[in-house]
Structure 1
Amino acid sequence: MGLAAGVLLAAMMFPAVGGVGLLAAQISDSAVGTSSDLQSGTMPAATVVTDSAGAPIAYLYSQYRVPVASAGIAPAMKAAIVAIEDRRFYQHGGFDVVGAARALVNNSGGGATQGASTLTEQYVKNYDLYVAATTDAQRRAAVAPSYARKIKEAELAVSLDSRLSKDEILTRYLNIVYLGHGAYGVAAAAKAYFGTTPDQLTVPQAALLAGLVQSPADYDPARHPDAALGRRNVVIEQMRQQGSITAQQAAAAAAAPLGVLPNVSVPSAGCVGAGDAGYFCSYLLSYLQEAGITSAQLTGGGYTIRTTLNRDAQTKLKAAVDGQVDPTTPHVADVMSVVQPGADAHQVVAMAANRTYGNAPGESSFGLPYQPENMGAGSVFKIFTAATAMEKGIVGIDSIIDVPGSGYTTPLYHDPAGRPIPVHNAGNYASQLSLTDALAQSPNTAFVKLEESTGVPPVVDMAERLGMTSLATTPSGRAGSPSVADVARSQNQMSFTLGVSPTSDLELANVAATLASHGMWCPPSPVESVTDRTGAPVTVTQPPCRQVLDPAIADTLMNGLSKDEQPGGTSAAAAASMGWNRPIAAKTGTTNDYKSAAFVGATPQMAGASIVFDDSASPRPICDGTPPYSCSGGNIYGGKAPARTFYRAMGDILDGQPVVPLPPPDPRYLNGSQS
Structure 2
Amino acid sequence: MTEPNRKVRSQEGRGRTILGLTGAGALAGVLSAALVMPWAGGLGLTARDAASGFMAMPADLEIPRLVERVLITDVDHRPIAEVAQREREVVRLSEISPWVPAALMAIEDDRFHEHSGLDLKGLLRAATRTAQGDTQGGSTITQQYVKNLLIEQAASEEELERASERTISRKLVELRYAIEVEDRLTKDEIMEGYLNLAYFGAGAHGIEIAARRYFSIAAQDLDPGQAATIVGLVRAPSYYDPLTNPDAARQRRDLVLDRMESTGHLDAAEAAEYKGADLGLDPTPRGGSCYHSEQPFFCDYVMRWLQESEEFAEDPEERRRLLERGGITVRTTLDSAMQEAAQEAIDERVPPGDTTKFAAQVLVEPGTGKVRAMAQNMRYGFDPEEVGTTSINLAVDHADGGSHGYQAGSTFKTFTLAAALDKGLKYKTSFSSPKNVSVSGLSNCDGGVMSKWEVRNAGESDEGSHNMISATKGSVNTYFAQLQRRVGLCETAEMAERVGIHRADGEPLGVWSSFTLGDQEVSPLTVANAYATFASRGTFCEPYPVAAVTVGREGDADFREIRMRSHCDEDAVPTHVADGVNHLLQQTFKGGTANGLGIDRPAAGKTGTTDNAAYAWFAGHTPNLASAVVVGDIRGGEKNPLQGVSIGGRYYGIVYGGTLPGPIWQATMRRAAADLPAESFAPSPSRFGNPSATPPKKKEEEDDSA
State the TM-score, normalizing by the size of structure 1. 0.86
* Greater shift in the superposed pair: 591-600 or 663-672: 663-672
Is 1:421 matched with 2:453?
Answer: yes
Against the structure 1 CA distance between its residues 596 and 109, is the aligned structure 2 distance closer, same or farther, given a 3 Å change threshold? Answer: closer
- 1:441 maps onto 2:452 in alignment: no
For 1:562, the equivalent position in structure 2 comes to: 586
Q: 1:391 to 1:674 in 2, by over 3 A?
A: farther
Contact 2:441 2:451 in 1 (8 A): no
Bigger Cα displacement from structure 2, 331-340 vs 182-191: 331-340
Correspondence 1:369-380 to 2 at 5 A = 369-371=395-397, 373-380=404-411
Letter in 1 for 2:324: T
Q: Which moved more, 1:174-183 or 1:285-294?
A: 285-294
Give the partner amino acid of 1:381. F
CA distance in 2, matches of 1:424, 1:156: 80
Instruction: Point out the more displaced range, 2-11 or 282-291.
Output: 2-11
Change (3 A) 1:36 1:442: farther
Q: Partner letter of residue 358 of structure 2?
A: A
**1:622 matches 2:648:** no
Residues of 1 paired with 2:650 and 2:450: CA distance? 34
Aligned partner (choices 243, 250, 258) of residue 264 of structure 2: 243
- The 1:10/1:597 distance shift into structure 2, 3 A limit, reads farther
- The structure whose Rg is larger is 2
Residue 128 (structure 1) aligns with = 150
Q: Work out which of the residue numbers 297, 302, 305 in structure 2 matches 1:287.
A: 305
Residue deviations 1:469-520 (CA, integer Å, cap 9, x gap) = x34x8454xxxxxx12xx41xxxx2211110011110111112222222222
Query: Which letter does structure 1 place at the counterpart of 2:487?
Result: T
Matched, 1:467 2:497: no
> Could you tell which deviates more after superposition, 246-255 or 582-591?
246-255
Map 1:256-275 to 2 at 5 A. Answer: 256-261=277-282, 263-267=283-287, 269-275=288-294
Corresponding residue for residue 605 of structure 2: 586
Paired position in structure 2 for 1:648: 667
Q: Distance in 2 between matches of 1:353 and 1:160?
A: 52
1:225–1:325 Cα change, 3 Å: same
Using a 3 Å threshold, how does the CA distance of structure 1 residues 170 and 628 change in structure 2: closer, same or farther? Answer: closer
Q: How many residues align?
A: 629
Match of 1:479 in 2: none
Whole-angstrom distance in 2 between the partners of 1:9 and 1:613: 76
The Cα offsets for residues 391-443 of structure 1, whole Å up to 9 and x where unpaired, read as 12122xx3242143232122235999964121111123353333122112111
Quote the Cα distance in structure 2 between the aligned partners of 1:67 and 1:93. 25
Q: Contact 2:453–2:513 (CA<8 Å) still a contact in 1?
A: no
Instruction: Write the distance in 1 (CA, Å) between the matches of 2:574 and 2:166.
Output: 72
1:235–1:199: structure 2 CA closer, same or farther, 3 Å change rule? Answer: same
User: Counterparts in 2 of 1:497-646, with a 5 A limit?
Assistant: 497-535=516-554, 536-539=559-562, 544-547=567-570, 548-567=572-591, 569-572=592-595, 575=597, 580-616=599-635, 619-623=639-643, 625-627=645-647, 635-646=654-665
| Corresponding residue to 2:83 among 57, 60, 71 | 60
> How far apart are 1:627 and its partner, in Å?
0.5
After superposition, the Cα gap between the structure-2 partners of 1:627 and 1:413, relative to the gap in structure 1 and judged at 3 Å, is farther
Distance in 2 separating the partners of 1:244 and 1:652: 58
Cα deviation 1:610-645 (Å, max 9, x = unaligned): 0112332573322264408999x9833211211122
- Aligned-residue identity in percent: 32
Q: Answer yes or no: is 1:319 the counterpart of 2:344.
A: yes
Amino acid at match of 1:458: E
Distance 1:611 1:35 in 2: 61
Structure 1 match to 2:193: 172
Amino acid at match of 1:423: V
Aligned residue in 1 for 2:359:
334
Q: CA, structure 1 residues 664+418, in 2 after alignment: closer, same or farther (shift >3 Å)? A: closer
Q: Distance in 2 between matches of 1:222 and 1:627?
A: 42
Q: Is the 8 A contact 2:130 2:167 kept in 1?
A: no
| Partner-residue secondary structure (3-state), 2:606 | strand
Q: 1:418 to 1:61 in 2, by over 3 A?
A: closer
Q: Return 350-359 or 454-463, whichever deviates more.
A: 454-463
CA contact (8 A) 2:435 2:463 kept: no
Which amino acid in 2 is paired with 1:558? N
Partner of 1:457: 490
The answer to whether the Cα contact below 8 Å between 1:610 and 1:645 also exists between their aligned partners in 2 is yes
* The one of 420, 441, 461 aligned to 1:412: 441
Q: Does 1:392 align with 2:423?
A: yes
Judged with a 3 Å threshold, the aligned counterparts in structure 2 of structure 1 residues 615 and 34 are, in CA distance, closer, same or farther, namely farther
Task: Check whether the contact 1:133–1:139 (CA below 8 A) recurs between aligned residues.
Answer: yes
Q: Write the distance in 2 (CA, Å) between the matches of 1:544 and 1:11.
A: 64
- Separation in structure 2 between the aligned mates of residue 326 and residue 34 of structure 1, nearest angstrom: 63
Counterpart of 1:23 in structure 2 is none
Q: 1:443 to 1:525 in 2, by over 3 A?
A: same
Distance 1:325 1:72, change over 3 A: same
Distance 2:244 2:408 in 1: 53
Q: Which residue of 2 aligns with 1:25?
A: none
Amino acid at match of 1:58: A
Q: Distance in 2 between matches of 1:49 and 1:67?
A: 16
Residues 1:35 and 1:496: Cα distance change in structure 2 (over 3 Å): farther
Report the Cα distance in structure 1 between the residues aligned to 2:268 and 2:132, rounded to whole angstroms: 33
Q: Tell me, in whole angstroms, the C-alpha distance in 2 between the residues paired with 1:226 and 1:544.
A: 59
- Per-residue deviation at 1:108? 9.0
1:587 is paired with a residue of what secondary structure?
A: strand
Please name the residue that 1:26 is paired with.
none
Equivalence for 1:116: 138
Cα distance per residue 1:135-155 (max 9 Å; x no partner): 233322222223332221111
Could you give the per-residue CA deviations for residues 181-223 of structure 1, whole angstroms, max 9, x where no partner exists?
1000111111111222222222222121111111122222222
Any idea what SS the aligned residue of 1:524 has?
coil
Query: Which 10-residue stretch deviates more, 179-188 or 196-205?
Result: 196-205
Evaluate the alpha carbon distance shift between residue 549 and residue 560 of structure 1 in structure 2; reply closer, same or farther with a 3 A threshold. Answer: same
Q: In structure 1, how many angstroms separate the alpha carbons of the residues matched to 2:650 and 2:440?
A: 35
Q: Which stretch shifts more, 609-618 or 501-510?
A: 609-618
Counterpart residue identity of residue 611, structure 1: V
Amino acid at match of 2:102: A
Instruction: Supply the AA of the counterpart residue of 1:340.
Output: E
Supply the distance in 1 between the matched residues of 2:217 and 2:326 (Cα, whole angstroms).
Answer: 23
Q: Give, in whole Å, the separation in 2 of the partners of 1:368 and 1:34.
A: 53
Q: 2:177 aligned to 156, 160, 168, which one?
A: 156
Q: Shift of the alpha carbon at 1:367?
A: 2.1
Tell me which amino acid in the other structure corresponds to 2:109. D
Q: Residue 212 of structure 2 aligns with which residue? A: 191
Deviation at 1:355, TM superposition (A): 0.9
User: For residues 574 and 341 of structure 2, what CA distance do their matches in structure 1 show?
Assistant: 34
Using the alignment, how far apart are the partners of 1:12 and 1:178 within structure 2?
34
What corresponds to 2:392 in structure 1? Answer: 366
Q: How far apart are the structure 1 equivalents of 2:38 and 2:323?
A: 41
